[in-house]
């Protein structure tokens, strides 16, 4: 069934998300990419290592953005380069996973360790491998990061190199070896929409029931209709949600996978299926600026006037993130 049950967990999640929105002025300036404001706040004595609810400092956000100038300003003013998030990840993890090569180079030059592991035992190198950032992978190895069979297996899976992957499997490596966030080769093949590679994995015993750390399954990552159909045929169901209440329809909309989202709706998913926070697929697509996905959802009956738990419409989220064409389209439909 397509249900979202209200529970104590829901209220706890809402509280944690609302807390996470309460960030310092320095966090906000970094997220906005304003070097002048960052410098001004640092001159005023703003606490440079203050954390938000997830343990993120301004340095972490700068690393995620890949803004080398802001990153350098923070480092020069005493930001703790090895400061960890709630889950033990460093700025180098975040920059490597986000594909921010200049930020990775600056962090390494400033003394960041490529050997640091987070609470899940993951290194920045594994994060780069999982996200298929080969140039960053090489940069980290050159800086001394240890690349073993596990990292090689994940990188080959992320890049869709089936020949290299099969060679590594032949050495006795486990096909369900996890990368960043628990993502195995099955998730990476699903995300890339690579049906041929997915078939290879299923034929060789990939664990279809595996979940990543937030409870999503491979169907949440489906990058093509063909992959989604194959995963459903193999036994996964689009009615399965993550611990945060996300169904595959939500992630398809969030990632701009228009045809995949349409498939789930055609299979019975409500076009306005809400999360615990009352975020609909249209909210997710609008927030990311996926115009074609927004058009498809509207055509399939999604309502543009629904509000999330913070009273925000899809148009508001689109406008806030600079997706003006999406916001205008939603406003037009809202007036009808």
Residue 214: C-alpha distances to residues 32, 67, 89, 219, 230 (Å): 27, 28, 16, 14, 23
Query: Residues 125, 94: contact at Cβ < 8 Å?
Result: no
pLDDT digits (tens, 9 = 90+) for 33-73: 999 999 999 999 999 999 988 899 999 999 999 999 999 99
For 75, the token pair is: 């480092």
pLDDT of residue 248: 98
For the chain, the first-to-last Cα distance in angstroms comes to 31
Residue with tokens 């001159």: 43
Q: Is residue 211 part of a domain?
A: no
For position 281, which CATH number holds? 1.25.40.20
Domain tally for the chain?
2
Q: What local confidence, expressed as pLDDT, does residue 3 receive? A: 60
With contact defined as beta carbons under 8 Å apart, do 48 and 70 qualify? Answer: no
CA distance to 177, 199, 207, 290, per residue, from 227 (Å): 21, 9, 16, 21
Residue 87 Rama label (left phi>0; alpha psi -120 to 50; beta): alpha
- Whether 14 contacts 309, CB under 8 Å: yes
Query: Which pair of tokens denotes residue 156?
Result: 């080959």
**How far apart are alpha carbons 27 and 30 in whole angstroms?**
5
Structural domain contains residue 191: no
pLDDT of residue 18: 41
Residue where a domain terminates, one of 64, 96, 122: 122
Answer whether residue 305 is part of any domain.
yes
**Residue 115 domain boundaries:** 22-122
The series of mean pLDDT values per 10 residues for the chain, 336 residues long, is 50 41 81 95 95 92 96 97 95 97 98 96 96 96 93 93 92 94 95 95 94 94 98 95 94 98 96 95 98 98 96 96 96 86
Q: Is residue 16 part of a domain?
A: no
- pLDDT given for residue 218 in this prediction: 97
Which residue, 57, 91, 122, sits at the end of a domain?
A: 122
Output the pLDDT for position 4. 52
Say if 307 falls within a structural domain: yes
> How buried is residue 217: exposed, middle or buried, by Cβ count under 10 Å (0-12/13-18/19+)?
buried
The answer to whether position 183 is within a domain reads: no
Q: Which of 101, 122, 143 is the last residue of a domain?
A: 122
């Amino acid at each position: 069934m397509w249900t979202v049950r209200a529970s104590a967990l829901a209220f706890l999640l809402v509280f944690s998300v609302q807390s996470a929105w309460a960030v310092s002025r320095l966090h906000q300036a970094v997220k906005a990419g304003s070097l002048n404001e960052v410098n001004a706040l640092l001159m005023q004595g703003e606490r440079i290592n203050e954390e938000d609810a997830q343990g993120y400092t301004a340095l972490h956000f700068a690393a995620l953005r890949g803004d080398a100038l802001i990153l350098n300003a923070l480092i020069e003013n005493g930001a703790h380069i090895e400061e960890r998030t709630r889950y033990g990840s460093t700025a180098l993890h975040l920059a490597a996973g986000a594909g921010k090569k200049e930020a990775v180079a600056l962090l390494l030059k400033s003394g960041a360790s490529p050997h640091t592991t987070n609470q899940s035992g993951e290194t920045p190198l594994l994060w780069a491998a999982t996200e298929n950032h080969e140039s960053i992978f090489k940069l980290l190895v050159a800086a001394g990061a240890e690349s073993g069979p596990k990292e090689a297996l994940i990188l080959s899976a992320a890049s869709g190199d089936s020949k290299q992957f099969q060679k590594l499997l032949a050495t006795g490596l486990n096909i369900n070896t996890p990368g960043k966030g628990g993502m195995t080769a099955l998730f990476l093949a699903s995300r890339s929409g690579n049906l041929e590679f997915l078939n290879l994995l299923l034929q060789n015993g990939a664990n279809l029931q595996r979940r990543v750390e937030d409870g999503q399954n491979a169907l949440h990552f489906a990058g093509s209709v063909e992959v989604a159909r194959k995963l459903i045929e193999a036994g996964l169901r689009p009615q399965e949600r993550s611990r945060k209440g996300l169904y595959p329809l939500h992630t398809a909309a969030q990632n701009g996978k228009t045809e995949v989202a349409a498939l789930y709706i055609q299979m019975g998913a409500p076009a306005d299926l809400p999360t615990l926070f009352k975020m609909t697929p249209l909210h997710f697509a609008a927030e990311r600026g996926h115009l074609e996905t927004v058009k498809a959802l509207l055509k399939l009956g999604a309502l543009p006037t629904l509000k999330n738990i913070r009273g925000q419409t899809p148009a508001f989220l689109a406008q806030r993130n600079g997706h003006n064409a999406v916001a205008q389209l939603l406003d037009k439909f809202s007036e009808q």
